[in-house]
Amino acid sequence: MSNEFEPIIIAFCCNWCSYTGADLAGVSRLQYPPNIRIIRVMCSGMVHPNLVIDALTKGADGVLICGCHHGDCHYLEGNLKAESRADAIGLMLEDFGLEPERFRLEWISASEGPKFAQVMQEMTMAIKQIGPSSFRTF
């Protein structure tokens, strides 16, 4: 095995859009880096900011929250709540001395398999560029 830095990235995906988009990427055999660990949540608006910060301070190299596009939220506007929290998370990252690239919010619909693969690719590349998290102990 090579010694290249392999980041661990956690992606919270909403059940209705993004998780389904991930499934479509699978069904379509779209290849993306194996660094993503998906956690299924019912809505992007369910993800507590502490969960993101905890993940990053426990050594995750990146965290994604993926939800439905505006207007498509299964729960009316949970995604909008996630969006407003994302700003707060961005500010918290600064407090912890974490690079802003380590957290991303993305809208991926159930039919956007290619977009899912592309976002995962981009996120992995971005994290590889900035290197391991300073909180990483392993």
Partner 1 sequence: MVEFTINGQRVQAEKDTVVLEAASAMGIRIPTLCNHKALEPYGGCRLCMVEINAGGRRRVVASCLYPVAEGIEVITDSSRILKIRGHILELLLAREPESPVLKDIAREMGLVQTRFKTNSALKNGKCILCGKCVRVCHEIMGVGAIGFVNRGWRRHVDVPFEIRSEVCMGCGACEKVCPTGAINAAILCDQEIRKIPDEYDMGLRPRSAAYILYPQAIPRKATIDSCNCVHLNTGKCRVCEKFCDAGAINFKQQEEKIDIDVGAIILAQGSDGFKANIRGEYGYGRYRNVITSLELERILSASGPFEGHLQRLSDGKQPKKIAWIQCVGSRDRNKGNPYCSAVCCTYAVKEAIIAKEHAAEPIETTIFYMDMRIYGKRFEEYYNKARDEYGVCFIHSRVAEVREIEESKDLILRYEDENNVKEETFDMVVLSVGLVPTEGSKELAGRLGVELNEYGFCKTSDFTPSATNIHGIYVAGTFKEPRDIPETVMQASSAAAEAGILLAEARGSLVTHKEYPAEIDVKGQEPRIGVFVCRCGINIAGVVDVPGVAKYASSLPGVVCVEEKIYVCSQDSQGLIKEKIREHNLNRVVVASCTPRTHEKLFQDTIREAGLNKYLFEMANIRDQCSWVHQNEPEAATRKAKDLVRMAVAKVRLTESLYPGLLKIKQGGLVIVGGLSGMTAALTLADAGFKVYLVERETELGGVFRRIKYSLDGTNDPQQKLRELVERIRQHENICLYTNTVISSVEGSIGNFISTLSSNGKDETIEHGIIIVANGASELKPTEYLYGQDKRVMTQIELEERMADLTTVTPANAVASMTQLELEERAADSRQLSGVRSVVMIQCVWSRQPDRVYCSRICCQQAVKNALKLKEINPELEVYVLYRDIRTYGFKEAYYQKAREKGVIFIRYSTDNKPIVSLNNGGLSVDVIEPLLDVSLKITPDLLVLSSPIVPDNQEMSKLLRVPLGPSGFLLEAHMKLKPVEFATEGIYLCGLAHRPKTRDESISQAQAAASRAATILSKNELELDPALSFVVDANCDGCAYCVDPCPYKAITMVEYMRDGAVKKTVRVDEAKCKGCGVCMATCPKKGIYVRHFKLEMLSAMVEAALQQN
Write out the binding residues for partner 1, residues 21-40 only, by CB under 8 A.
22-34, 36-40
19 binding partner 1? (CB under 8 A): yes
Backbone angles phi, psi at 134, to 5 degrees: -70, -15
As given in the structure block, the two tokens for residue 120 are 């995962």
Those residues whose C-beta lies under 8 Å from the C-beta of residue 96, and which sit 6 or more positions away, are 53, 56, 57, 135
The verdict on 109 binding partner 1 (CB under 8 A) reads yes
Q: Which of residues 43-82 bind partner 1 (CB under 8 A)?
A: 43, 45-51, 54-55, 58-60, 74-78, 81-82
Token reading at 94? 């600064």
Residue pair 78/64 in contact (Cβ under 8 Å)? The answer is: no
Nearer to partner 1, 45 or 94 (CB): 45
* Backbone φ and ψ of 65, nearest 5°: -115, 125
Under the rule (CB under 8 A), what is the footprint of partner 1?
1, 6, 8, 10, 12, 15, 19-20, 22-34, 36-43, 45-51, 54-55, 58-60, 74-78, 81-82, 85, 109, 111-115, 117, 138
